[in-house]
Structure 1
Amino acid sequence: MNDATARPAEDPLLGRALVEEAAKKSGLIWVRGSGPDRALWHAWHDGAAHVVGDGPGEQPLPGLADGSTAEVTVRSKDKGGRLVSWTAEVTELTPGSEAWEAAVGELKGKRLNAPDGERMTERWGRECRVLRLEPRGSSTDHPADSLAAVPLPTPATTRRPVPAALPRLLRRGRKRH
């Protein structure tokens, strides 16, 4: 294969560019450490994905420990399909360090509906972990199977009984138009 037709997994520079571009455009990555796969919101900064969690009101980061590795998969923002996967080195950033401040600066712009607004970064420093997921090696080829898994148990639900008054309210709305 010549350079013009090399696949991302075979051309390290092309693979790195694909990882970076996909991660910058997607607000969600799938991460598998020693625990189950998790969908995590992130911010791409300085050549790595950064995530915050494990504190009250923040996303859980099970199986992600400082010095370990994780498998990261980036999905398409519009179609939701798998774009690229890579192995990441996990590094926990020290609160207040220069790297932590830079990562948190990017992350706070991506955090939606924070209960404490401007004080959120102080809370992250006290109660949460900020992890850097830096790509190691090249991107990996996609597996032949779908990797579909049963969703993790959660108390969240979208199915509830229809309120008794709803059919009447809907009929009344049609008569007016």
Structure 2
Amino acid sequence: MGKDRKETFKTRFLTHYPRLCRIAYGYVLDTDDAEDIVQELFIHIWNKDKDTLPEAEFIAYMTTAVRNSCINFLRKRPDDTVSIEENPALTSCMPEENEEENVSSEERLQKALAVLPPKCRDIFLLAKLKGMKYREIAEQLAISEKTVENQMSKAIRLLRTYAASCHPLLIVWISIFVSTLQNYIHK
């Protein structure tokens, strides 16, 4: 088991290290600092056994952890503040004009929802768009409330995985959309 874990860890490190360093560089604007942050994160996940997560969850976890580590790193250096307008790394993270500009919010939402299995998507839409409670959904679809709960968990996990595998700004957009939707529903 230990040898398999080491091999899996090595493979994941070699696969994800360059991408995670680019993400970190986008925040800290220093190659050495970015590499240090990512290396320390890999050490941390090894020590906390987070490297045993399934691949999709591992990717999402690491992407979020890099961002949080960079923010913590920058908080410790308050005198190095740079405005967003002056940050060239942030503009490099913007979608290419021909790539994302012509995609409407509705199309982005449809693409994200398309990753969900039909039953899962129906339950998610009833809960988030119509604001129905799990009990109401279960009654309407003649399924158990526990099934609704499981399908919602699955939908959220799949949407997070989809967002993590897409453009970084899509993650922000989906998060904002879902939180706005929840605020609108609960008013």
Whether these two folds match at TM > 0.5 is: no
- Specify which structure has the bigger relative contact order, considering alpha-carbon pairs within 8 angstroms and separated by 6 or more residues: 1
Considering fraction of residues, name the structure with more helix: 2
Q: Given the two structures, how large is their TM-score scaled by the length of structure 1?
A: 0.20
- Point out the structure with max Rg over C-alpha: 1
Compare the two structures and name the one with the higher strand fraction: 1
Q: TM-score when scaled to structure 2?
A: 0.19
